[in-house]
Amino acid sequence: MNLQFARVALVGKYHESPTDSAVAATRELMEKIGAFMQQQGCQVHLESHTAASTGLTHFPVLDIAGIGADCDVCVVVGGDGTMLGVSRQLAPYGTPLIGINQGRLGFITDIPLGEFRKVLPGILAGAFEEDHRTLMHGWVKREGVCVFDALAMNDVVVNRGAASGMVELSVEVDGHFVANYRADGIIVATPTGSTAYSLSAGGPLLHPLLPGWALVPISPHALSNRPIVLADPGEIAIEIVAGRDASASFDMQSLTSLHRGDRIIVRRSEHRARFLHPKGWSYFDTLREKLHWNKGST
């Protein structure tokens, strides 16, 4: 087979509290998918954390920097959470990603696990749809000094403390005051993140090609505080005016505590994630399948 992607990295699902059975299942699956890609003529490299957690020694091992420098494509096996973590790390290298869904929803890991043998050969040979996704870069500034920063592909979320009441947040866009929000928190979501927490909080769905963000209050005190769609070249600043034990999370994977007066700054990252989908893939097919549109009883 003529391959467009000959050097392939393989990443497996990370288990926060791994059991022997979960590790064994991941190891078996990685062996199966890796061996299949070798049969297609690919050089397969296993990501270092995947190798360490599974104990696999069948494939040469690379860390993320090595994958970014040496591999043509990265195949991610897991759920959207796994893909979010890998895509943020590989975005600076421009490495394209293929997602095989071992999770539940699979908005961005869209190849069903049972279909990888049917779908992967075509993508590896160059028959695919390419899909670029915007990332955000967020900072937490305390008395003018940056105390935390991280990338996010889904969302940046400012939340109230678990045991406290509402927080009061002052929001600015490009230096212009927008409003003070009294709420459980606020979400800044990319189009990719518009199908995640933002959607649950009443935010709009944004097409991935749209250069915009959704600013979505979480359970606001004033019902007139509605979600706003903003242009993503702008800068969003969220200041903690009042409230205890607030926190900021980035893709629900990086978390930092906040103090009164802290400012969370969000801008568009210079990096984008690159996803490869099977030929004929459509974003609307994904929405229809995952959100169960037009699937009522007849």
- Tell me the catalytic residues: 80
What token pair was written down for 42?
Answer: 């690919």
CA pair distance 134, 262, nearest whole angstrom: 25
Residue 258 gets which letter from DSSP?
Answer: -
> Which amino acid is residue 183, in one-letter code?
A
Long-range pairs for 208-214 at CB < 8 Å and ≥24 separation? 208/131, 208/132, 208/133, 208/283, 211/134, 213/136, 213/188, 213/189, 213/266, 214/187, 214/188, 214/189
Cβ atoms 142, 259 nearer than 8 A = yes
Q: Helix or strand or coil: residue 284?
A: helix
Ramachandran bin of 170, using left for φ above 0, alpha for ψ from -120 to 50, beta for the remaining angles: beta
**For residues 154 and 200, what is the distance between their CA atoms, to the nearest angstrom?**
13
Please tell me what DSSP assigns to residue 242.
E
Distance CA 253, CA 42 (A): 32
Name residue 112's amino acid. Answer: P
| Triad 152, 158, 162: Cα angle to 5° | 125
Q: How far is CA 163 from CA 157, 166, 221, 255, 256, in A?
A: 17, 10, 18, 17, 17
